[in-house]
Chain A
Amino acid sequence: MGTDARLAAVELCDVKFGWRNSSAPLLSIPEMRFEQGEKVFLAGPSGYGKSTLLGLMSGVLLPQEGTIRVLGKGWGEMSASQRDRYRADHLGVIFQMFNLVPYLSALENVLLPLKFSKLRAARLLDPEEQARELLGRLGIGSDLLGRPAGELSVGEQQRTAAVRALLGQPEVLIADEPTSALDADNRDAFLELLIAEVELSGATLIFVSHDGSLASRFDRVVQLADFRTVAR
């Protein structure tokens, strides 16, 4: 993708973040680094500021102190609209559930990020065809593509969300407990497919989960608890 290999995919430096009115920061991260192409398991029980950290990494939240860079560019250097554009260009996100816009079809959902990112759209010769192909590989058959996303099963929704996050090859993929709503079989299958596709595209995967049993499939494990400063 032409980016300097020495640049970190995501890099946090002396980051302190707290919600307003609370004097002590919720998160305090002296340093955290995710290399390009790395698959990292970010472990931590719920309530440990995972969502906040993801908000910070994706530039939706800004820290009170410190810098967060994605592919060398700090969120703080950009204006709000530049951040929105940059996020659309370089990040793919998968949530725990309700990933899809319910009134759009599976296919429309998958193609949605391309409307916000010309960069990602430009990487695809035929976006719709490539979306169908990727959906097919993740087990979303052509019979499901036209259906409103709300009618898909949870497993199908998560896989569709994964396709949406992967399409157009964003460099960083953030997955926020994407398997917690799935049963064991679906969970393993989903993880299998996700990791295969991430390896194929060369993206960095930051996978947040409290389910330690999944950690073995990743290159590295980061314990969020190590960065938590305030007692619950």
Chain B
Amino acid sequence: MISLALKSLWFRRGSLAVTVVSIAFSVALLLGIERVRTQAKENFAGMVSGTDLIVSARGNPVQILLASIMHIGYPASGLTQETVQTVCSNRNVAWCIPIAMGDTHRGYRVVGTDLVMFDKFRYARNVGLSFREGRRFTEVSSAVVGSQVAESLGYRVGSKIVVTHGAGGESLIEHAAEPFTVSGVLAPTGTPVDRAIYVSMEGYEAMHEGFGGHANIDPLVDPDHAEEKSVSAVLVGLKSRAAVLGVQRSFNEYRPEALTAVMPGDTLLDLWQLTGIAETALVWISGVVVLIGLVGITANLLASVNERRREMAVLRAIGAGLPQVTGLILGEAILLTTVGVVVGLVLFQVAMFGLAPMLRARYGFEIAAGGVLPGEWVRLGWILLAGGLVGAFPAYRTYKRSLSDGISIRV
């Protein structure tokens, strides 16, 4: 009976192949969307793994998070040096990384920061920054570039960088006179760090002043510089995570300047709510695509049930039972779905392996290419079950037909 079923399938391989391919594509799409969705969340969460609070001028937490960590947009305004000092000297604070931004270099963001960054910044599962080449910036005019910046612009230790003011665009003022020299290249992190150029806070300010003469001025001492408010945000690590709510409140209630202290994890959740609609839409779309694939199987089977009416009658006359004839159709649906799912899985894996390097290079988006995640197995299980269910309908039809047709069909 099984060899009979296989021969029958082989006989109709043309139209069946189309059905299997449609299922395979929908399965691959479903898995792909799911994988990208879940991995994107993990990626974003990884970007801020070590940071307990982000302190910035009063504003929308999501916007602050996007600007300071993901390098999307800019904070509304800067912080005074006094505020930065207050934040960093809070007794609960273990470390703080001031960051200043607003300039770009050939599309990549230039970030003014402190050497603490290289010691304390954490991403993914508690991983610190490391250098692929060179070392930290030691002088006002030296810069550290992210791996992707180095790769796409061909920078190495010793390369000169000219910075433009403002985010992107060609028509912006170039600080042509104040070039930076690359002192180090960071190892890839899969976070926005890869797409940034880090300079010292002094260098960042000097860029606006001009290097000549002012470079050695300590901004903390010089009142002009203190008023400059060049620091956009401060990333804060606490001695004890348990203190986070209290510290957050004390920063939010800070008098001299209106501040917003953001807990990255919580704000990410807010961000997911914002993107939730699009996400839900994606999930639905991929679900519908699978449904269409399954409807394709049903349509194919129903058509074949009509075509094979005589074949079924012949089999009945020869001695095949109703369970066998019905099982033939049901088994076919299950087999087609299974093959579709397997092909889809292979397609998905191949696509992931193909796309992962591109995603990493273009978007700094780290994606786990191999294997099947537990949640994905569950989905595949549902698809297989659905395949069996859609097969039940044509199978039932065959059953009824076989009952009434008996062994002879009028031509």
Q: Chain A interface (Cβ within 8 Å of chain B)?
A: 51-52, 54-55, 58, 60-61, 80-81, 84-85, 87-89, 91, 93, 95-104, 108, 112-113, 115-117, 148, 164, 176
Q: Tell me the bound Cα distance from A179 to B121 in angstroms.
A: 90
A55 touches B10 (CB 8 A): no
**Distance of A88 Cα from B317 Cα, bound (Å):** 8
Q: Are A116 and B318 in contact (CB under 8 A)?
A: yes
| A60-B316, A88-B319, A97-B411 known; A115+B406 contact, CB < 8 A | no
16 contacts between A and B (CB under 8 A): A51-B406, A52-B406, A54-B408, A60-B407, A81-B321, A81-B323, A84-B322, A84-B324, A95-B407, A101-B8, A101-B311, A101-B314, A103-B7, A103-B8, A108-B7, A164-B318
Which 8 residue pairs across A and B have the least CB separation, nearest first? A88-B319, A103-B11, A116-B319, A55-B406, A84-B321, A60-B406, A93-B317, A51-B408
Q: How far is the CA of A87 from the CA of B410 in the complex (A)?
A: 21
Chain A residues near B1 (CB-CB < 8 A): 115
Pair B7/A80 contact, Cβ less than 8 Å: no
Q: Knowing A95-B314, A103-B10 are in contact, say whether A54-B323 is a contact too (CB < 8 A).
A: no
Residue B335 interfacial (CB < 8 Å): no
Tell me, in angstroms, the Cα distance from A196 to B322 when the chains sit together.
34
B residues engaging A (CB < 8 A)? 1, 4, 7-8, 10-12, 310-311, 313-324, 406-408, 410-411
| A residues near B322, Cβ cutoff 8 Å | 80, 84
Min CB gap B314→A, angstroms: 6
The distance in angstroms between the C-alpha atoms of A148 and B10, with both chains bound, is 12
Contacts of B407 in A (CB 8 A): 54-55, 58, 60, 93, 95
Considering residues B10, B311, B323, which has the most beta carbons from chain A within 10 angstroms of its beta carbon?
B311
Bound together, the chains give a CA A100 to CA B408 distance in angstroms of 13
Closest to B317 in A: A93
A60 neighbours in B (Cβ, 8 Å): 316-317, 406-407
Additional A-B contact list (9), CB under 8 Å, known A95-B317, A104-B7, A113-B319: A51-B410, A60-B316, A93-B407, A96-B411, A97-B411, A102-B11, A103-B10, A108-B7, A148-B11
In the complex, the chain A residue whose C-beta lies closest to that of B9 is A103
What A residues does B410 contact at CB under 8 A? 51
- With both beta carbons as reference points, the residue of chain A lying nearest to B402 in the complex is identified as A60
CA distance A95 to B406 in the complex (A): 12
Other-chain residue from B7, B311, B318 in contact with A88 (beta carbon distance below 8 A): B318
Please, how many angstroms separate the alpha-carbon atoms of A192 and B313 in the complex?
A: 26
Q: Return B292 CB to nearest CB of chain A, in Å.
A: 28
Taken together as a complex, chains A and B put the C-alpha atoms of A99 and B314 apart, in Å, by: 6
Closest B-chain residue to A115, C-beta based?
B1
What residue in chain A is nearest B311 (Cβ atoms)?
A101
Task: Given A102-B311, A103-B7, verify A55-B408 contact (CB < 8 Å).
Answer: yes
Which among B319, B322, B406, B410 has the highest number of chain A CB atoms within 10 Å? Answer: B319
CA distance A96 to B12 in the complex (A): 25
CB contacts (< 8 Å) of A102 on chain B: these are 11, 311
With both beta carbons as reference points, the residue of chain A lying nearest to B313 in the complex is identified as A95
Closest to B325 in A: A84
Cβ-closest chain B residue relative to A55: B406
B316 — which chain A residues lie within 8 A by C-beta?
60
Q: Who on chain A is nearest to B12 by CB?
A: A103
> Which chain A residues border B408 with CB–CB below 8 Å?
51, 54-55, 95-96, 176
- Residue of B4, B8, B11, B411 touching A98 (CB-CB under 8 A): B411
Would B319 and A87 count as touching, CB distance under 8 A?
yes
Given A51-B410, A58-B407, residue A84 in contact with residue B314 (CB < 8 A): no
User: Judging by beta carbons under 8 Å apart, are B311 and A85 in contact?
Assistant: no
Chain B's closest residue to A47 (CB) is B410
Are A61 and B318 in contact, with the CB atoms below 8 A?
no
Instruction: Report the nearest B residue to A52, measured CB to CB.
Output: B406
Q: How far is the CA of A51 from the CA of B313 in the complex (A)?
A: 12
What's the Cα separation between A164 and B411 when bound, in Å? 21
Q: Using Cβ atoms and an 8 Å threshold, which residues of chain A touch B10?
A: 103
Nearest Cβ distance between residue A157 and chain B, in whole angstroms? 11
Are the C-beta atoms of A100 and B314 separated by less than 8 Å?
A: yes
Report the Cα distance A116→B310, complex, angstroms: 18
Most buried by A among B7, B316, B407: B407
Contact check, A98 vs B314: say whether CB atoms are below 8 A apart: yes
For B320, the chain A residues whose CB sits under 8 A away are 84, 116
Of chain A, the residue at the smallest CB distance from B315 is A101
Q: Which residues of A contact B314 (CB under 8 A)?
A: 95, 98-101
